[in-house]
Structure 1
C-alpha cells in the first residue's frame, strides 16, 4: 500500500495513516484513500461509551490536553477534585446549621429577623474582603501555594464554628455568622487570587481563559455530585454524632487533598522560599536543584525551609540608609564597592540588610542583587574584597538555573517601590 499522510491528535492520541491499498481482496475500494491505524487495521467504529468520554473530555479538559497545559496539571487537578468534593459535603452540613441558626423551622422566628441577620453577615463579608485585600493582597502572588492552603483551612474552621457552635448559641447567631462570613470572605479573596496564579502557571499556550473555564466546569461537576451526596447524608442520617464524624472525616480529607494539590504544583519562578533553597544547594555543592525538587522542599504551611539570619529588604528608601550613615565619605566608599554598571547597592543597617535599587533595574538584576546579599551574609567582606569572585559565581548560578528550567527573567520576591540614582556622586 502507498502511504499518503500520517496523522495524530495531540502527543497522546492514536496515530493514523491515510493509504491507498493494493490488495483488492482485503480492500475492495482499491483506488480510494483509506484511513487505518498505525498497525494497518481499520479503526473501530466509536461506541456510545467512547463518544460520551470524548464529550466529557471536551467539556472538562482544556483544548489540546495534555500538550496545552503544564506537566503537573493532572496531579494538581486530581487532588483539587477530591478536595472540592469533600468541601462540598462539609459545606452542605454547615449550610444546614446556618439555616437552623437563621430560624428556619422555628415558629417564633420572623422573616424580618432572618433577613436582617443575612444582610449583616453579608456586610461583614464585604468588609472582610476589602480589609484582607489591603492587608495581604501583595503576598498572594509571592506565596500562592501557602495562601491557597491557608484559605481552605480557614474555610474549614468557619464551617466547624457554624456546625458546632451555631446550633447551641442561636441567640448569638448574628455575631457568629458575621464572624464566619468574614472568615469566608478572606477565603474568597485568597482562594480566587491564588487560583488565578495556578491557572496562569498551568496555561502554557496563552490559553488561560480556556484552562480557567474548564477548571470551573470541573469544580461545578464535582460540586453537583457532592451536593447530592450531602443531601443524601442529611436526609438519611439523623444522628448528630454520625454527622459530626462524617464532617470530621471530610475535613481531614479536604486538608490532606489540598496539601497534596499545592505540593504537586511545580512553579519555575523564584519566590524567596524557592530561591533560598536553590541558593543553599548551590553554595554547598555548586549545583542547582531542579524545579520539581525545590518545589517539593518548599513549605506550604508556615515558615520556610531555608531562611537568612538577617532580614533582607529590597527596594528600600535612601532615607533609611542616610539616617544610619551620615558621613559622605562612608557613602562614597560603599558605592565604590560596586561596578558603575550595577543597578543596586547593598548596605547593612540596624536590624536588616537594605538593597537600594536603581531606576532602570530589571527583574533578573533583582535576582542578582539578592544573590549578592546571600553571598554578603556568608562573609561580609566578600563584596568589598572579592567582588569579581561573587560575580563569577552569579554567572555560573544563572547559567545552571536556566539549564535546570527556571524562569530567570521574572521573579516573585518582595520588592518595595523606592528607586534611586547615585551615578552623579
Structure 2
C-alpha cells in the first residue's frame, strides 16, 4: 500500500475571485492525479465552491462599486451613495415633467410655432447658462472646497429652482424668455458647484489613491439612476398629461423628497479636512475638555445649511469662526488700525507670519507674504482662541500667545492622531498679504 501511494502524485489548484487580496472568495478546487509508474494521467477533478449565479452577481457588482470595496473607501461612502442615488432618481423623474412643460411653452406640437423661434429661445437659454457658470466660478470658485457640504446642498437647491422655472414658463407667456433664462442661470450654478464639490468628496472617499475608480463607478451608478428616472418620468408624464394639478402635486412632492435626500446624504459625510466651522467646533471642545473630537463626532455637530439659516436653527453652534476675517487687505484699514498693527508687530507677533487685529468683536487676520499653509492654520486657530478669550473678558493678545506657545503643537498632534488632516486649512483663498519690517522702536509696513 505504501509503495503504491508513493507511485502516485497529486496536484491541487484553487481558484479564487476578487479584486482585493483581503476579500478573495474561493470559487473552485481542481485536483489532478498522476501515476508515475505508468506515466498515465487522469482527468482533473473540478469541485466548484460557489454557484455561477453568485459569480455573475459579483462581477456585475464590480461595475458599480470601487475595486476593493468596502476597504478601499471611507465608511461614509455607502450611505452617502444610497441617498445620493435616491435624490438623483427623483431629479430625473422631475426633469421629464419640467421638460414636457418647457417644450410645450416653446411651441412643440403647435402649427403656429416656428423652428427658428424655438431654436433661438433654446440658444438664448444655453447662452445664459454658460455665462452664469463663468460668473459663478469667478465669484465663488475658490470657496467651494472649504464648504463642500453646504455648496452640495445649495447646488441641488438651485437645480430645483431651475426646474421650477421650466414648469412655470407656460403659465406666463409674456415673460417666457425671462423665466427660461432665469431657470438656465440657476442650473448653471448647479453644474459648477455640484461638479466641484463632487471632486472634493471623491478625494475624501479614496483611501487607496483610487479616486479615478470611484469616479468611474459613480458614473455607472448615475447611469442606472438616470435610466430608471427616465422610465418613471415618462410614465408619470404620460399619466399626468393635461392634468395641471396632478403635475404640480407630483413635482412638489418629489422636490421635497429630493431636498430631504440631499440633506441626509451630506449629513452622512464625516470629512477629515479642517475648514473654518470644523476648526471652531474642535477647538472650543478642546479648550473646555482637553480632548479632540473625531471627524464622525464633529460631523453630527456641524451645520451644513448656509449661515443665514444656521442662525435661526436650534442646532446652531457657537459661531466664533463667522467673526474672523482671513487675509485682510492692509490698505483697507484706517490709520488707528495701522497704528495698532505696528505696535502688535513689534510686541506680540515678533516671531509670527501673521498679525491679528480685533475690532468690535471681529478679528481681522493679516497674513505675511512669506507665510505658508501651516502659518494660515496657526493664525486661524489663534484667532479662535482670541475670540474665546474676548468672550470671557480676558486679555486676547498676550494670553493667546501663551496658549500657542504651550498647547498648539500638542493640539495639532492630537488632531492628527484623531484622523484629521492638518496640512492646510480649507478657507477662502488668501489673496491679500503684507510685509512688515520691524525696526528698533517701531514697525514699518510695505
* TM-score, with structure 2 as normaliser: 0.82
1:320 shift after superposition: 4.0
Tell me what 2:326 maps to: 314
1:356 is displaced (CA, Å) by 2.1
Aligned length: 409
Is structure 2 residue 161 aligned with structure 1 residue 160? no
Paired residues for 1:229-244 under 5 Å: 229-238=232-241, 239-244=243-248
SS for the counterpart of 1:347 is: strand
State the 1:7 CA deviation.
7.2
Q: For residues 309-332 of structure 1, what are the alpha-carbon distances to aligned partners after superposition, in whole Å with 9 as ceiling and x for unaligned? A: 8732222233345733454xx555
Whether the aligned pair in 2 keeps the contact of 1:85 and 1:223 (CA below 8 Å) is yes
Match of 1:344 among 354, 373, 388: 354
Say yes or no: does 1:402 pair with 2:416.
yes
Q: Structure 1 residues 399, 2: CA separation in 2 closer, same or farther (over 3 Å shift)?
A: farther
Q: Note closer, same or farther for the CA distance 1:337–1:287 as it changes in structure 2 (3 Å cut).
A: farther
SS class of match (1:360): coil
Partner of 2:38: none
User: CA–CA distance in 1 between the matches of 2:58 and 2:24?
Assistant: 14
Kindly indicate whether the alpha-carbon contact (under 8 Å) linking 1:2 and 1:19 is maintained by their aligned counterparts in 2.
no
Asked if 1:183 corresponds to 2:186, the answer is yes
**Is it true that 1:97 corresponds to 2:101 in the alignment?**
yes
Question: Structure 1 unaligned runs (5+)?
Answer: 21-26, 33-40
Matches of 1:332 and 1:240 in 2, distance apart?
67
- Counterparts of 1:284-303 in structure 2, within 5 Å, are 284-303=288-307
Distance in 1 between residues matched to 2:350 and 2:282, nearest whole Å: 28
Structure having the higher Rg:
2
Q: Determine whether 1:137 maps to 2:147.
A: no
Question: 1:12: how far off?
Answer: 6.5
Q: Is the Cα contact below 8 Å between 1:97 and 1:167 reproduced in 2? A: yes
2:389 is aligned to 379
RMSD: 3.1
Rounded to whole Å, the distance in 2 between the matches of 1:128 and 1:331 is: 40
Structure 2 alignment gaps of length 5 or more: 1-9, 36-40, 311-316, 440-446
Answer whether contact 2:367 2:433 (CA < 8 A) is retained.
Answer: yes
Q: 2:273–2:422: 8 Å Cα contact kept in structure 1?
A: yes
Match of 2:123 among 113, 116, 119: 119
8 A Cα contact 2:144 2:197, kept in partner: yes
- The match for 2:425 among 395, 411, 417 is 411
Task: Return closer, same or farther for 1:8/1:233 CA change in 2, 3 Å cut-off.
Answer: closer
Between stretches 283-292 and 62-71, larger displacement belongs to 62-71
Q: Which moved more, 1:377-386 or 1:3-12?
A: 3-12
CA distance in 2, matches of 1:400, 1:16: 42
Whole-angstrom distance in 1 between the partners of 2:401 and 2:281: 23
Q: Which residue of 2 aligns with 1:211?
A: 214
